[in-house]
Homo-oligomer: A and B are copies of this chain.
Amino acid sequence: MHRFRAIAHNQGCFLITGDELHHLTKVLRLQRGDKVYGFDNSGRQWLGIIEKLEKDSALCRIIEEEYPEVEAKSKVYLVMGLAKGDKMEWVIQKATELGMAGFIPLRTRRSVMQLEGKKAEDRVKRWQKIAGEAAKQSRRVIEPKIEQVAEWKDLEVMLPPETQWLIAYENEKKLSFSNTLASFNPEYPIAVLIGPEGGFSGEEVREAQEKLGARSISLGSRILRTETAALAVLTMVLTYFGDLG
């Protein structure tokens, strides 16, 4: 059955509007009486029946409200250095399926792609759309939020102070991944810093360690592309805390 981002409404109903409404009427051509799923990013999901189709909204009567066990218990955020091509797009799509809590695009010293102003805003809108579609496809009930493109100095205030930071650093050879995670509290958010194509500079790693208390982790002896590293670390963290498989 089709799933839509929806808005809670009075008297046991929810509303589908905007792009979602367009998709419902123009693309899927659903009709009054058809059943649909709605979710409002609060963790709940409604099974509803389309009761009224109007120009700017579809009113659906709630048949059932449920809180499916689909979201990861651990809240893992990806903070990724701006990378070229479609790398960001597909990391966001795949990471959403895997269960990331949110995504922060980061301007780094070695980022070749430097998004500014309007262009940056549009790109973030596009990324949010990709995350929304991936969330639906994977049957999640909360879409990961894609934040605006950030600078290093912004990071401290963008996530809660109790956030536990990890930084993937190819020169880190001492600390194993599991030893590091063993000291983490799964109740608190975890943010993973992933460098751009050229990786982080040594200075950036030091700053992340000093200002964010980031623990640097090795991803083993093979050199991973930035997009591969992002998905690998996310998979490793979610698996470690029992949120995958």
A113 surroundings in chain B (CB, below 8 A) = none
Residues of A within 8 Å of B, CB-based: how many? 35
Q: How many copies does the complex hold?
A: 2
Known interface pairs A94-B228, A228-B98; A245-B218 also in contact (CB < 8 Å): yes
Expressed in whole angstroms, the minimum distance between the Cβ of A91 and any Cβ of chain B is 11
Known interface pairs A220-B99, A225-B137; A244-B236 also in contact (CB < 8 Å): yes
Within 8 Å of chain B (Cβ to Cβ): is A112? no
Known interface pairs A99-B222, A223-B139; A217-B245 also in contact (CB < 8 Å): yes
> What is the interface of chain A mostly: helix, strand, loop, or mixed?
loop
Known interface pairs A69-B221, A231-B235, A232-B235; A176-B245 also in contact (CB < 8 Å): yes
Q: Which of B222, B238, B243 contacts A139 (CB 8 A)?
A: B222
Q: Mark A106-142, 1 if CB is under 8 A from B, else 0.
A: 0000000000000000000000000000000111100
Q: 8 more A-B contacts (CB under 8 A) besides A94-B228, A218-B245?
A: A70-B222, A94-B227, A98-B232, A139-B223, A176-B245, A177-B245, A178-B245, A235-B239
14 residue pairs of the A-B complex, CB under 8 angstroms, read A94-B225, A97-B228, A98-B222, A98-B228, A98-B232, A138-B224, A139-B223, A177-B245, A178-B245, A218-B245, A220-B238, A231-B235, A233-B245, A235-B235
